[in-house]
A = this chain, B = another copy of it.
């Protein structure tokens, strides 16, 4: 049975259940940042997914890119580059990060992972970001 690793609940907010993945908003107001976690038990690598689920994941990564762009637009910080990463060195449950980057963000041009402590959203920004991201994900 699938169960979300508790690490995700601690660092992100739920957005939407997509066909394959649980989509969550990373709780870091410095970046538009969506995390996709396939709702498949015991999956650690892309190769552990079926071919159908691999295709679904690609479609959901593209939708997450649109969501991240929508968050950036809603918060007045348009995305300049998407960064996509599937690492899982710390939290082994398969997940994909889709992050909106700008040349003026704190980690630019390096990766965001492990760079610095998150800046959690305040309630108003979280509501705006969630609405923008959810709207874009619903177009999938």
Interface of A is mostly: mixed
A57-B108 Cα distance, complex, nearest whole Å: 26
B114 touches A110 (CB 8 A): yes
Contact residues in B for A84 (Cβ distance below 8 Å): 46, 84-87
- Interface size, chain A (Cβ < 8 Å): 30
A135-B58 Cα distance, complex, nearest whole Å: 26
Chain B: minimal CB distance from A130 (Å)? 22
A62 touches B83 (CB 8 A): no
A46-B85 Cα distance, complex, nearest whole Å: 12
With A54-B62, A58-B54 already in contact, the answer to whether A82 and B113 are too (CB < 8 A) is no
> Which chain A residues in 42-61 approach chain B with CB under 8 Å?
44-47, 54-55, 57-58, 61
Counting from the closest, the 3 A-B pairs by CB-CB distance are: A89-B109, A110-B114, A84-B86
